[in-house]
A and B are shown apart, each in its own frame.
Chain A
């Protein structure tokens, strides 16, 4: 065998080894991926639910905060209504008491 041919044969041998190693590594990568798919599934599943729960908690929190604001605002309006009523009552107390008296004196 000439020197050149021998080098070619040697190179082909090396090439086969390179491809063989690559195939072994590729198998390993696939093997690892197969091992990881269950984890990926579980993580994605749990992450989706955790995100939804976070969103749900946010919805509830916002609803409660809005409700508290509504209550405060409504009660503020009621307090104002009561102040208006008290103011009118102070102004009209004497007239109302006289009306009661007149009613009683007339009818009793």
Chain B
């Protein structure tokens, strides 16, 4: 009877301990579940803001890409154009040097005379003053013959008079009416400047060919 009683006692205590342990385990599980549920709720609540943060970043990435593309294209285009322009201008400079060199050749006087006649025709003949640089003023220009050529083209009696004024240009000529109201500038500098815009495409064609 004593041994039997002792067995029941230990059974009661073991069962109680097992039940107690189970109560604690369940409580821990429930606690863990409550915390996990709240974590999940927290993540769900954050999801809207998370989407917004990521979308903003993706939009910004798109903007960065487009801005970079545009800026790079513009910079590249500008760099190429600016260098092209510089190289084309160097051709104009070189052409000016060649024009100056031309004055040392026999082609120069006929060229100067041609420029005088052209300007004289533009002025419509009449009394015309011809301004030259120091070097050109000493050249043997046949003004009477040139005046006749202008006369023949314009029908107006023409007289060319060399001005005392000396031009500070590399070459060419300036013609004006005696009152100075109408001037035709056929100096090399002005001719090149006048023709620069329409010469540029032709220069580019020759300059950048293979």
Say yes or no: A93-B39 contact (C-beta < 8 A), given A86-B83, A100-B199: no
Could you count the A-B residue pairs with CB atoms below 8 Å apart for me: how many are there? 236
Query: What's the nearest-Cβ distance from chain A to residue B102, in Å?
Result: 8
Q: Are A40 and B35 in contact (CB under 8 A)?
A: yes
| Residues of A contacting B36 in the complex (Cβ-Cβ under 8 angstroms) | 40
Whether a CB of chain A sits under 8 angstroms from the CB of B40 is yes
Chain A interface residue count, CB cutoff 8 Å, equals: 77
| Residues of A contacting B47 in the complex (Cβ-Cβ under 8 angstroms) | 48
Q: Which residue in chain B gives the minimum CB-CB distance to A94?
A: B94
Q: Which residue in chain A gives the minimum CB-CB distance to B210?
A: A88
A11-30 with Cβ < 8 A to chain B:
11-12, 14-16, 18-19, 21-23, 25-27, 29-30
| B contact face: mostly helix, strand, loop, or mixed | helix
Q: Considering the chains assembled together, what is the distance between the CA atoms of A46 and B118 in angstroms?
A: 86
| A contact face: mostly helix, strand, loop, or mixed | helix
Q: Which of B85-93, B136-144, B149-157, B159-167 contacts A (4 or more CB under 8 A)?
A: B85-93
Q: Which of A30, A46, A56, A105 has most B Cβ within 10 Å?
A: A56
Q: Are A36 and B35 in contact (CB under 8 A)?
A: yes
Q: Which residue in chain A gives the minimum CB-CB distance to B75?
A: A75
Whether a CB of chain A sits under 8 angstroms from the CB of B53 is yes
| Residues of B contacting A33 in the complex (Cβ-Cβ under 8 angstroms) | 30-32, 34-35
What are 27 pairs between A and B in contact, CB < 8 Å? Answer: A4-B4, A18-B19, A33-B35, A40-B35, A41-B38, A41-B45, A45-B42, A45-B46, A49-B49, A51-B50, A52-B53, A56-B54, A59-B57, A60-B60, A70-B68, A70-B72, A71-B68, A71-B71, A75-B72, A75-B79, A88-B209, A88-B210, A92-B207, A93-B94, A97-B95, A98-B98, A100-B95
The 9 closest A-B pairs by CB, nearest first: A4-B5, A44-B42, A33-B31, A15-B16, A22-B20, A56-B57, A26-B27, A48-B46, A67-B68
